[in-house]
Homo-oligomer: A and B are copies of this chain.
Amino acid sequence: MSTALNPGAMQPFALTLNRFIDHAAKWHAGAEVITGAGAGAGTRITYAALRERSRRLSGALQAIGLARGDNLGVLAWNSQAHMECWYGAVGVGIVCHTLNPRLATAHLAAMISQAANRVLAISPDLAPLAETLAPLCPSLQHIVMLEEPGAEMALPDCGNAQVWRYEDLLAERGAPVEWGGFDEYAPAGLCFTSGTTGAPKGVTYTHRSNYLHTLHQTQTDTGGLSGRDTVLAAVPMFHANGWGLPFSAPAVGANLVFPGRYQDGASLTRLIRDEQVTVAAGVPTVWLGLCDHLDRVGGDVPSLRRIMVGGSPIPQALMDRLERRLDVTVQTSWGMTELSPLGTTTPATAPVRSAAKSGRPPIGVDLLLTDVEGAPLPEQRGHEGRLHVRGASVVERYFGHDEPAVDADGWFDTGDLAIVDETGNVSITGRAKDLIKSGGEWINPQEIEAIVGALPEVAQVAVIGRAHEKWGERPILVIEPRKGVEIGDEALRDALRARVASWWLPDAIVRVATMPLAATGKIDKMRLRDDHG
């Protein structure tokens, strides 16, 4: 044994999130964070200046009583001020608790109370929501009204909670403080799952898990950002770390563009053109809006090279349309709040890409397919199974829970169904809990949705189960036709007849003017089941 040897050492280096802004401020001094304001004038700031403001916010948060390990509630659109909240909090070990303004008030109040938020930072146009929430959330002591371009500041009446203008707070209490000095395993973020398929559960991201997620995401075959990119974060920051972009953009020195609350096609078009955006990220419906707008008014977005989509499956017809109309590469991915969120990505340069394929996991993420009881499938390639995940940025235990969210071998059950092909390429084939059991056999709604979603006449599609006396459950097809076009029931059934078993054909077809969307932008199947199930 070599126990007598003195083996030398590498430098200590805590994986804390403040390093991303520290790095950008020092090594990418010219790169900027830009916030759009719809048709109005936006704002821009260098990473160096944003770092200084964030360090002052750190001091202000401490001055009004937050300490390491406390949760800062943030209920805001994507903006510079929101980004400053993130770094102001995490730089001194305060946990950034992102909240989705589109959630029901009762849900928000429950999350704020569960996280014991004493301070809530909120977008200026959400002042009425602050007034509603304050009496429901007894833990709240301070409400900070953020400043965002294109939004009026109206100070809410929040009862006992003190209301601050953001700039006043910085000016009066914002003595800059040094960042870091805590353990990389310290919590950094808190994000509740959407709750569209069950009670919301909080996922606690650590500095380490988010730092590693950022490194995995900045690889060429995943996010692939470079210092010459300008990335549009059209995915809200309250969705699973904003897909990590507020970390990965400064980590590589890319310009970062926030749309504020303006996610419509006209505002995004303007922002992309003004800022020469090269890469954009968001759910498919956002890009549908961009395409529709350009079709209406003409013109294009020549600087844009790539769109990263995720959050929900993209129909092949939409993917094809985006690639043709916008002259971009659509990069499919799969992820979850519980995964920080990166699970799999199709490389932007993959020779063959399709809407049905979500790519491979990067290093640091591993996948396992099991049967319905959780036993690993003996053959992991070419067979559908329940998708389980292990990795450096995957939940082990939810916020406030005592029991783990993983099995005895450490695997997290995603609830998704998937097939992995021989090359390791993953196709998400459905949600286990969306499956419809008809006559003792399973019908997978997602297979039907993929076929109907490929029809040019169909804008959005969902298949839900309806209780049936004889068969247990039967499928119902719900479609939102594209504006100005029609498609008959028989044409829809004909499209399916060639591709699925006859007993998979829907018992009824429902047309809706607008598909109901949950707060995450995904189709709200719980609502559809209430209305049509």
Q: Are B251 and A347 in contact (CB under 8 A)?
A: no
Q: Is A429 an interface residue (CB 8 A)?
A: no
A205 to B394, CA, bound (A): 27
Which stretch of A66-74, A76-84, A483-491 is in the interface?
Answer: A66-74
Q: Is A209 an interface residue (CB 8 A)?
A: yes
A495 to B422, CA, bound (A): 61
A391 to B360, CA, bound (A): 30
A95 to B1, CA, bound (A): 12
Which stretch of A217-225, A512-520, A525-533 is in the interface?
Answer: A217-225
Count A interface residues, CB 8 Å. Answer: 83
Q: Are B361 and A2 in contact (CB under 8 A)?
A: no
Q: Which residues of chain B are near A1, meaning CB under 8 Å?
A: 67, 69-70
- Select from chain B the residue with minimum beta-carbon distance to A229: B220
Q: In the assembled complex, how far is the CB of residue A212 from the closest CB belonging to chain B, in whole angstroms?
A: 8
Q: Are B226 and A349 in contact (CB under 8 A)?
A: yes
Q: Are A69 and B2 in contact (CB under 8 A)?
A: yes
Q: Is A502 an interface residue (CB 8 A)?
A: no
Q: Are B221 and A226 in contact (CB under 8 A)?
A: yes
Q: Are B187 and A398 in contact (CB under 8 A)?
A: no
Q: Type the 1/0 row for A21-32, where 1 means its CB is closer than 8 Å to any CB of B.
A: 001001111100
Q: Which residues of chain B are near A6, meaning CB under 8 Å?
A: 399-402
Q: Are B10 and A394 in contact (CB under 8 A)?
A: yes
Q: Are A10 and B95 in contact (CB under 8 A)?
A: no
Q: Are B399 and A8 in contact (CB under 8 A)?
A: yes
User: Closest 7 CB pairs between A and B?
Assistant: A8-B204, A13-B392, A215-B215, A8-B399, A10-B209, A27-B424, A11-B396
Known: A8-B401, A214-B363, A219-B252. 4 other contacts (CB 8 A): A5-B116, A8-B203, A29-B424, A219-B220
